[in-house]
Homo-oligomer: A and B are copies of this chain.
């Protein structure tokens, strides 16, 4: 398909380093030409072995490096808005890790800026849309074979939460994946959120009210419930059951090997999202590279990033109030059709 796409990667932390490896060694058609991180040491480390890459402390310098044709933003959330606007200013296509911008107000500014450009430049990193199981479920729901979706039952469990994880992050960092997945699967916007919770697990750090049970009502009359349990101790489990008028479909209980010993028949449970969604990340970045080389922008849009932020903010309010909280979105700019993926 011609020359390799030159990519600048902003952020060389855990996720940024993984994307640099992916662009360099897994994905076809791209090369990393610039890496930026205020901690240039870790930028150097992440870029080691990549031929012809330039390392910068300053993101804008990376964007202006020779050969840069597209940007992958993997810096911390608070740096996203400025990076996105800088990319927009240069007309560079962007793959932006979630969240688009941590707060809904900032996300809306990004949406408005992109709208003023009159064309999409942004794909947001909701990688579940590229997971084989989610794609199969989406395809089944879209086929209409099961009729209208009535409920989604979702489970989202982690082994344990990282240091500094807060009760609000249960919603705006973890459940945000289910928010996007539900919007995408149903083609509907959440309209209200209620949060209930049992007494916290004794395995949760002091002050972290984990697990919780989050319920979304949607514009199309569906109900979405999510168990979020980030200190489950027993694995990284992401499941989704769609209950429809004509049947139900469930993903996330699949397995590839059953081992039987005196302890019973056992299936492995993935312990980590980078393992569970490794293929989804690969497909996500490949899809972005392919589309960008063809001059197209696909996948979750800035609007999707904004909507996820608004819903998450309502969820955090519902955590605090114990009551049902309404979700109010700004009018959707013309640029963003719902089903532009």
B-contacting residues of A (Cβ < 8 Å)?
A: 1-2, 24-29, 49-51, 132-133, 136-137, 140, 146-148, 150-151, 153, 159, 194, 196-199, 201-203, 211, 213, 215, 217, 220-223, 225, 227, 229, 232-235, 237, 243, 245-251, 253-269, 279, 286, 290
Contacts and interface: CB of A to CB of B under 8 A. Distances in A.
Contacts of A257: 133, 136-137, 140, 249-251, 254
A260 B245 contact: no
A277 to B, nearest CB: 13
Contacts of A159: 262
A269 B260 contact: yes
A233 B213 contact: no
A217 B217 CA distance: 20
B140 A259 contact: yes
A150 B223 CA distance: 22
B266 A148 contact: no
Contacts of A290: 25
A255 B140 CA distance: 15
A246 B160 CA distance: 12
Given A28-B25, A254-B255, A261 B146 contact: yes
